[in-house]
A and B are shown apart, each in its own frame.
Chain A
Amino acid sequence: MSEVKRLLIVDDEEALTFSLYQTFINVPIECEVLTASNGDEALARIEEKRFDLVITDIAMPGINGLDLLSMIKARDAKTKVIVITAYGSDDNKEQAYRRGADNYMEKPFDLYEIKDLVLKLLA
């Protein structure tokens, strides 16, 4: 029996977290999916348990996605992080990769593309 993968989706955009959640609970691997609507809530979840992959937005109230990324990587460098953002700037992209992001996607993105990417990173 394969290990259950744990995935966290962090975004204050409810329609997007809902769609991502619905997508990942139906992937062909065993996956526990949790959501958080801001950085502080995400941090509380990360402190509670270990995640295999986190998808995080950048601009959020409280702790922003880039700081959250640094905290996740400092806690466990093996946790994969995909940064998603509606601020499509080179600076954000560079910062994300410099802080150890495994991928960076600009909104609006293709749902199938992020699904494939997550499956690849979790494999």
Chain B
Amino acid sequence: MGNKISKKKQMFSLLNYKFANMWEESITQSDNTPVDESEKFSDNYSSHLLNKVYNFYKSIIQNLNSGLIALDLNGEITFVNHTAVHMLGYDREELLGKNIRDLFASDSESRKCQRAIFLPHKRINDREVNFLQQDGTSIVVGVSSSQIHDENNNFDGIVLLFRDLTEIRHLKLQLERMERLALLGELSAGIAHEIRNPLAGIRAAAQLLEESDGKPEFEQQVVERIIREVDKANKLLKEFFKFAKPGKPRLKFHDIELLIDGVYLLLSPQIKRKNIEFVAEFGEDIPEVYVDDTQLEQVIVNLFLNAADAMAGGGKLSVKTYRKNLNILDQKDQRIDMNNNQLNYVFVEITDTGEGIPEHNIDKIFNPFYTTKQNGLGLGLSICSRLISENGGNIDIYSKTGQGTTVTIALPSFVHS
């Protein structure tokens, strides 16, 4: 008994240290007269204080504006807060003992999520999933998980914290729709411009023919120009369709070094002619990338030619590859689900020492029909960006006027874990 009291005293001393204000309150009677020192550690006050601390924590947890659910290792719900009960539309008693898998709107989502939260030392952060409410309607929530450990540091359960994203997703969809419309407007204006230009040339040339006094040589010159303009308009449309509807990528594992070397071999006469030095620095242990080789080659050709165009007076074109374990790039990338193979990214950096891109133009660089070249269509980089995204990767650009430009491509690869 004596031992028990001494433990209690230790515990209360600790609580006293942490919750000094509460302690002060607890040792003051309702008429504001201080409690006798000898009563401070009596059982009555101990339980009074415990109650106070318990209620304090309880009120924090119950009034969180996120839903909170605790699970045991079987996935059964052992605790729910008010917000979770309210968001899911169940009675508290209906939820307690229910298995978490029954809250998911889809089995595959449930499996993926459970796999992620029950693996030791794993957690999820703000993952978007669909939960089923009691009446069967589904709500989008952002879930984060953390693991609970017992006093011996054994994995003992899971805490899920989730917030309702329905409204946010609704706004996001609205925004995406608006962005799509804006892009559509921009695209239409771009196409209209690129088609009207050759049309203007064709119309004027045809009217010139109409007025011509029948000199065959002159008429031939005009007709040639008309044909050139028609071909130009057709080329533009072909290129545009590559952007608007690229072929479905045929994904396979490829050695990135071989792909880059292949492109260099193809372009080396042009690169050398422009007095450009080519330097490749391939990282060690670079895994194969999971891409469509033809599409990736098209992107690299485009980027090499852009770099060469930016170095009219010669310079250095460097290519560097390295790998990074990044899962943040494309969380939605679920095209393939390779067992135990972890998504990695291989990075390809293409750097030139050319004129660089002014800061105010960087944001427009991937826009279709944006060009600074005399005879450019402005589709090269937008096609690159579209192809890389179709292949599950990411493309980024960094540039400094007068110093050069670096384009970084992240390509998916899978490493057996």
Binding site for B on A (CB under 8 A): 12-16, 18-20, 22-23, 37-38, 59, 61, 84, 86-89, 106-112
Contact = CB atoms under 8 A, between A and B. Distances in A.
Given A61-B374, A89-B189, A107-B197, A14 B225 contact: yes
Interface hub of B194, B199, B200, B222 (most chain A Cβ within 10 A): B200
B198 A13 contact: yes
Given A13-B197, A86-B196, A107-B196, A19 B374 contact: no
9 contacts: A15-B204, A15-B205, A18-B225, A19-B207, A19-B208, A23-B204, A59-B193, A108-B196, A111-B208
Contacts of B147: none
Contact of A18 (B193, B195, B205, B376): B205
A14 B228 CA distance: 10
Contacts of B208: 19, 22-23, 111
Given A23-B208, A87-B192, 12 more contacts: A12-B374, A14-B201, A15-B226, A15-B228, A19-B204, A19-B208, A19-B225, A61-B372, A87-B189, A107-B197, A108-B203, A111-B207
Interface in B207-235: 207-208, 221-222, 225-226, 228-229
Contacts of B200: 13, 16, 84, 86, 107-109
Interface in B158-199: 189, 192-199
Which of the four size classes fits the interface of chain B?
A: 20 to 34
B373 interface: yes
A16 B201 CA distance: 4
A4 B220 CA distance: 30
Contacts of B373: 61
Interface in B361-391: 371-376
Interface of B is mostly: helix
Contact of B201 (A13, A37, A87): A13
Contact of A15 (B196, B229, B372): B229
A62 to B, nearest CB: 8
A87 B221 CA distance: 28
B202 interface: yes
Contacts of A106: 196
Contacts of B221: 18
A97 B309 CA distance: 36
Contact of A112 (B194, B196, B207, B222): B207
Interface string B34-66: 000000000000000000000000000000000
Nearest to A20: B204
Contacts of B226: 15
A89 B194 CA distance: 14
B313 to A, nearest CB: 18
B193 A108 contact: no
Nearest to A112: B207
A15 B201 contact: yes
A15 B374 contact: no
B261 to A, nearest CB: 33
Contacts of B203: 108-111
B204 A111 contact: yes
Contacts of B225: 14-15, 18-19
Contact of B374 (A38, A86, A87, A88): A38
A108 B202 contact: yes
Given A15-B202, A22-B208, A86 B192 contact: yes
